[in-house]
Amino acid sequence: MKRILVSKCLLEHPFRYDARDVRIPELRTLLKDFEIVTVCPEVELLGLPVPRPRLKFVPDKGTLKLLKEDTKEDITQLLEEKSREFLEKVGEIHGAVLKSKSPSCGLGDAKVYRCVECEESIGKAWGIFAKELRKKFPNIPIISEKDIDLLPQVFKTKS
């Protein structure tokens, strides 16, 4: 059976930083022909609590850093390493459905802020886990929950 990786907050609650429920009830049905593998990088790989302060991308010397909003701790490298460790162990993955706009799971639509105290967004970036997933599995289809209408076509389900 093919295996689809899903951002855990789309199927289980609570995982998000603000404890908001973003589950998509029809997702399990849409993925009924697949083995579902879930992960919440922030809670399960970094051990962060729910709720938790936001993680924010900010520019730094021509690159981006991911900082905790409260302590300003730079967790870029830690999340990259934990994501790679998880992806080494997870086995074969044939597709993914990831949560949009997240600094961990977003597919190029996570906000980049001018500074960690700022609310002004100056750009968009790939979430760190999503980027590592794309590197590890360069050819699999990856969609966000915004595109689940396309899921049968993208993952070639029978429904």
> What is the rounded distance in angstroms from the CA atom of residue 24 to the CA atom of residue 48?
23
Q: Does 83 participate in binding ligand SF4 (rule CB under 6 A)? A: no
9-36: buried (b, 16+ CB within 10 Å) or exposed (e) per residue? bbbeebbbbeeeebebeebeebbeebee
Does the footprint of ligand SF4 cover residue 105 (CB under 6 A)? yes
CB of 16 to ligand SF4, least distance (A): 4
Stretch that binds ligand SF4, among 6-14, 24-32, 69-77, 142-150 (CB under 6 A): 6-14
Give the integer Cα–Cα distance in Å for 126 and 56: 12
Contact stretch for ligand SF4 (CB under 6 A) within 4-12, 79-87, 112-120, 132-140:
4-12
Residues that bind ligand SF4 (CB under 6 A): 7-9, 15-16, 40-43, 99, 102, 104-105
